[in-house]
Amino acid sequence: MHAPAGLPVRPTTDRAKESLFNILQNNFDLEELSVLDLFAGTGNISYEFASRGAIAVLSIDQDNGCVKFMKETARKLDFTAMEVRRQDVFAFLKNCEEQFDIIFGDAPYALSRIAEIPGLVFEKNLLKPGAWLILEHATLMSLSHLPNFFEERKYGQSTFSFFKST
């Protein structure tokens, strides 16, 4: 599925996505996961989790075009475990009552509030015990000073920062 032109997205590169899922497969049973995908964009990461059998994938994005594309694609691919919601990520996090095994966030690199996400996730207790928050961000930014951080992996201009619930 190719996303329509004009969507405000910067999809995770194939190399970075492959590396991420290798890490996840070594640490989790992907078929047992409930996943939250923040700033889901075209749904690239959500589809990957859904195709690998995640029991639930909740994709959040505020762009109408992205949400429409994700809903259509999930329907075409028969990803019944995938739910797409149009909402501001920060508003969603402040009001969320669910817990997840994996929360993945790929905010626009220019977003100044990326470093607020771990605080919101841990304050609201949105991760199950032993679960991970993974944020993709520009390599020039470091999130290693934030609580619950445990690792980062760099892939060119992109970095994944990993945070773990206790």
Tens digit of each residue's pLDDT, the chain (166 residues): 555 555 555 566 778 889 999 999 999 999 999 999 999 999 999 999 999 999 999 999 999 999 999 999 999 999 999 999 999 999 999 999 999 999 999 998 888 999 999 999 999 999 999 999 999 999 999 999 999 999 999 988 899 999 999 8
3-state DSSP assignment of residue 108: coil
Q: Is 123 a domain residue?
A: yes
Phi-psi region of 129 (alpha: psi -120 to 50; beta: other; left: phi over 0): beta
Sorted by sequence, the CB contacts under 8 Å of residue 68 that are 6+ apart come out as none
Structure token pair of residue 145: 């000073």
Q: Is 92 a domain residue?
A: yes
Q: Give the CATH number, domain containing residue 76.
A: 3.40.50.150
Q: Is 1 a domain residue?
A: no
3-state DSSP assignment of residue 139: coil
Q: Is 70 a domain residue?
A: yes
Check the CA dihedral 149-39-17-32 and report its sign.
positive
Q: Is 8 a domain residue?
A: no
| pTM assigned to the model | 0.93
* Count of structural domains, the chain: 1
In terms of residue numbers, what domain contains 77? Answer: 30-164
Q: How far apart are CA 40 and CA 11, in angstroms?
A: 9
